[in-house]
Amino acid sequence: MANQTALVAGYDRKNPIRTLRHMRKQWQLYLFVLLPVAFVIIFAYVPMYGVVLAFKDYNVRLGILGSPWAGTKYFQQFFSSPMFSTTISNTLLLSLYSLIVGFPIPIILALFLNEVRFAKFKKTVQLVTYAPYFISTVVMVGMLLNFLHTRHGFINIIIQSMGFEAINFMANPNYFRTIFIASGIWQTMGYSAIIYIAALSNADPTLYEAAIIDGANRYQKIKHIDIPTILPTATLLLILSMGSLMSVGVDKVLLMQNPLNLQTSEVISTYVYKVGLLSGQFSFATAVGVFNSVVNFILIVVINTVASKVGETSLW
């Protein structure tokens, strides 16, 4: 906070000489600011120049600047494509399913750990739930394929031991979303709960003391102290999650995808990968990506506006 105050205090729009003198005197502070700003500019803003591809008939020999303009040709092509409704619906259903089921679980886990008084048990639970986050996506999908294998997968072994027939989970499109979401929750819930545990540590101890004096039980303390404490954090994370509602990671979906479950597994990110990189239709793939980004931007603005009007927490 002091560093920010120093930077602001040294800036004088009407007196640039004073600003330069302050920058020379406090060059260490500006150096710290310069590095992250340069990182954002280089890796976030400079690549945005490629958006031009969505409005051009891109030719590798002519380059981006030399390729002729195509207007909104590729946007219209995507909107009229039979894959438009399929990819949009699959992406929305997978993201909403993940948000509705997966978002509350880290909160519940954090509330549970906050009530545990046995330190060793608490640390063990944190380790067990946190460790899967470090498993790579490739290893995770490999584990899923082995666990769900029709012959030697332990889940089908259990199913067959109960007298039922083995189920080919990965070949049935009806199971794809559940497998994708369940594995994602198992892998990330411990890591996501850390933010809420940190927020709970900022709760005022006097509130708990007053609640004990008033005879409040655990449920009442959670309802009236813990939940209001983490509510601002949860609201911000929910807004950010809604802003990426149309963005489903391509790596895990692509690794779990096969010709039998394409009905539910083909999302925008995998479609862009196949059309852009595999088929070489760079302009069309860019147009699909731009559409996806615009929808995400609109969603985050709308959700942030609603959050700011309903409550006091918002991104801006």
Task: Per residue of the chain (316 residues), give pLDDT as tens.
Answer: 444 444 444 555 556 777 788 778 888 888 888 888 999 999 888 888 888 888 999 888 888 888 899 888 889 988 988 888 889 999 989 888 988 988 999 999 999 998 888 888 988 998 899 999 999 999 999 999 999 998 888 999 999 999 889 999 988 999 999 999 999 999 999 999 999 998 888 888 888 888 888 888 888 888 888 988 998 888 888 888 887 777 777 889 999 998 889 899 999 888 888 888 788 888 888 888 888 888 888 888 888 888 788 777 777 7
- Where residue 63 falls (left for φ over 0; alpha for ψ -120 to 50; beta otherwise) is left
Residue 59, SS3?
Answer: strand
Q: With beta carbons less than 8 A apart as the criterion, state whether 180 and 253 touch.
A: yes
> Contact at 8 Å (CB) between 190 and 130?
yes
Q: Burial letters for 92-121: b for 16+ Cβ neighbours within 10 Å, e otherwise? A: bebbeebbeebeebbbebbbebbeeeeeee
Cα distance between residue 154 and residue 156, in whole Å:
5
Tell me what pLDDT residue 29 has: 83
Dihedral sign, CA of 66, 71, 77, 78?
positive
All structural domains of the chain = 2-52 (no CATH), 63-310 (1.10.3720.10)
Which residue pairs from 81-88 have beta carbons closer than 8 angstroms and sit at least 24 positions apart in sequence? 83/266, 83/271, 86/266, 87/266, 87/267, 87/268, 87/271, 88/268
pLDDT of residue 15: 66
Q: Which residue has the tokens 């918002």?
A: 314
CB-neighbour burial class of residue 29 (10 A; exposed 0-12, middle 13-18, buried 19+): middle
Question: How far apart (Å, rounded) are the C-alpha atoms in residues 164 and 123?
Answer: 39
Q: Can you give the pLDDT at residue 224? A: 87
**Cα(271)–Cα(276) distance, rounded to whole angstroms?**
8
> Quick check: helix, strand or coil at residue 145?
helix
> d(Cα 6, Cα 20) in Å, to the nearest integer?
14
Q: What is the predicted pLDDT for the residue at 1?
A: 44
At 196 the pLDDT is 92
pLDDT at position 12, please? Answer: 53
Q: What is the DSSP letter of 132?
A: G
pTM for the complete prediction?
0.80
